[in-house]
Amino acid sequence: MKLRDIATVLNAKVTCGVDKLDEEIGMGYSSDLMSDVLTLDTDNLILITGLVNLQCIRTAEMADIRAIVFVRNKKASDPMLELACENGMCILESPFSLFKSSGLLFQAGLKPIY
Amino acid sequence: MKLTFNIQGGDFTHAGKPSSEVKKVLKQLNVDGKTVKNIVIALYEAEVNVVAHAWKGTVSAEIDENKITIFVEDDGPGIPDIELAMQAGYSTASKQVRDMGFGAGMGLPNMKKNTDELLIESIVGKGTKVKMVNYFK
């Protein structure tokens, strides 16, 4: 699924990485627990989370995750966006809940990791 | 090549900087992507442990032709029972650490999973020393 289509489905604003919207993402993982994200062996995925802090971006950086959706209308801070852009990530912000965002993406064909 | 960094306990803003720098260097050295990911995840977990539990610490990464050896040493409360701390799900993390998305008791097991060699020594009331070795594929 293209990041552009993910943004459309989630009614999301793209706050970083507009140039990445044509990239294909195979899988999604929803979690507010970065400890769990760090245990994943997959990397072509989009992280769907309501946890908005700098360590969320750092976690994605270490785990080679190229795209994050912040749900529940959460806004990434400027330092977060700066770090995300520096690492070539795409950041989306959706007004939907974690459950709704995950459900819509699953319905649209995005695969779960497990 | 040797890289060294300082870590301040409780400073979640800068946690991950050493891992980020090590990642950049390993990529420049054309180390295989999967190996780089294993190394930086283990180091990042170790950094978060220092920030979450200790007062201050240091990271020292020695890169040779075929491996990286990382030492993470802290002045902190130490780990009374390392075997127990290695069990998935065991955690003594504070609410603040859990609010940051960590402290689920996954750090040490994940460091073991992502390293070829892991050695942990700890003295209660003094601090913890971690040695991690990863061989380049």
Chain B residues near residue A35 by CB distance under 8 angstroms: 101-107, 110
pLDDT tens-digit map of B5-41: 999 999 999 999 999 999 999 999 999 999 999 999 9
* Domain edges within chain A: 3-107
Tokens of B19: 């891992």
Topology annotation, domain A3-107: 3.40.1390
In chain B, the residue whose alpha carbon lies closest to the alpha carbon of A33 is B101
Q: Residue A94 — very low, low, confident or very high, per pLDDT cuts 50/70/90?
A: very high
A43 touches chain B (CB under 8 A): yes
pLDDT tens-digit map of A19-66: 999 999 999 999 999 999 999 998 789 999 999 999 999 999 999 999
Q: Do B20 and B7 touch, CB atoms closer than 8 A? A: no
Question: pTM for the complete prediction?
Answer: 0.95
Q: What CATH number is associated with residue B111?
A: 3.30.565.10
Q: Could you tell me the residue range of the domain that residue B117 belongs to?
A: 2-135
For tokens 């859990």, name the residue. Answer: B98
- φ, ψ of residue B11 to 5 degrees: the values are -90, 80
Chain B residues near residue A38 by CB distance under 8 angstroms: 41, 44-45, 106, 110
